[in-house]
Amino acid sequence: MTARVGVIVFPGSNCELDARVAFSALGAEVEMIWHAGTSLPEVDLVVLPGGFAHGDYLRTGALARFSPVMDRVRDHALRGGLVLGICNGFQILCEAGMLPGALRKNNGLKFLCRWVDLRVDNNDTAFTSRAEQGQVLRIPINHFEGNWYAEPAVVDRLRENNQIVLRYVDNPNGSVDDVAGICNESRNVFGLMPHPERACEQLLGSDDGIVLLGSLLDHVTDRAGVAG
């Protein structure tokens, strides 16, 4: 079966086409979904792409959280559907309360656009199943507000539940506990600041992003297989 991926497009999104190209190349059927819609087509995975949704006014993700389609994204997640937030998408998921914490301005106040090494600290999730535990992936970052924060008690809980899925090998932005990517308790909502969709071609410097995006698609097709 072919996995169906829905990429949400907010006014100000700018990585939606990268996401479409990456998931299409991996064999998924990709549909672009405008943020103002009040329904969601039948999809297996919803992707909130990078960019500057609603201009990032007030705070990153603060207004995007109230886009009409977000209620449907929440329903999709509550039904167990997969959701992936990349960069601005991660910020939106945090603002929406679908993932814990918040993203602050980078320590050093620099916009960071470069390759980083990410360590997979939990490979037992739908987002990391193709990785070895501890595998290091080379993926680019491109953000000003990537400095993840949560209260110490929340961080402890995430550690205990192995919800801190990806950590920076060399923390570029001040993120608490080197957090680069996390998941929710049910392990179907994932958010990360780095851009795996921009690391899907050796020609562009790395294809390690396929490990992550491909894992999500495996999860969809494996589940369909089990269901018969």
Partner 1 sequence: MSYLAQVDVMLKPGISDPQGQTIERALPVLGYPGVREVRVGKRIQLQVDADSVDDARTKVEEMCERLLANPVIESYEVSIG
Q: Does residue 183 have an active-site annotation?
A: no
Q: Does residue 197 have an active-site annotation?
A: yes
Residue 55: half-sphere exposure toward Cβ, Cα within 13 Å: 2
Of 48, 56, 34, 35, give the one whose Cα is nearest residue 89. Answer: 48
Q: Examine residue 94 and tell whether it contacts partner 1 (CB under 8 A).
A: yes
Question: Tokens 């923390």 — which residue?
Answer: 171
- Cβ–Cβ under 8 Å, residues 149 and 96: no
Q: Give the active site residue among 35, 94, 197, 200.
A: 197
Q: Does residue 87 have an active-site annotation?
A: yes
Q: Examine residue 55 and tell whether it contacts partner 1 (CB under 8 A).
A: no
Q: Examine residue 108 and tell whether it contacts partner 1 (CB under 8 A).
A: yes
Q: Examine residue 107 and tell whether it contacts partner 1 (CB under 8 A).
A: yes
- Cβ–Cβ under 8 Å, residues 163 and 188: no
Q: Binding string to partner 1 for residues 120 to 149, with x set by CB under 8 A, is what?
A: ---------------------------x-x
Residues in contact with partner 1, counted by CB under 8 A, come to a total of 20
Q: Give the active site residue among 15, 87, 94, 200.
A: 87
Q: Give the active site residue among 35, 54, 195, 219.
A: 195
Among the listed ranges 6-14, 61-69, 200-208, 218-226, the one in contact with partner 1 (CB under 8 A) is 61-69
Q: How far is the CB of 153 from partner 1 (least distance, A)?
A: 12
In the complex, which residues of this chain contact partner 1 (CB under 8 A)? 58-59, 62-63, 66, 94-95, 101-102, 104-109, 147, 149-151, 174
The residues annotated with a catalytic role in the active site are: 87, 195, 197
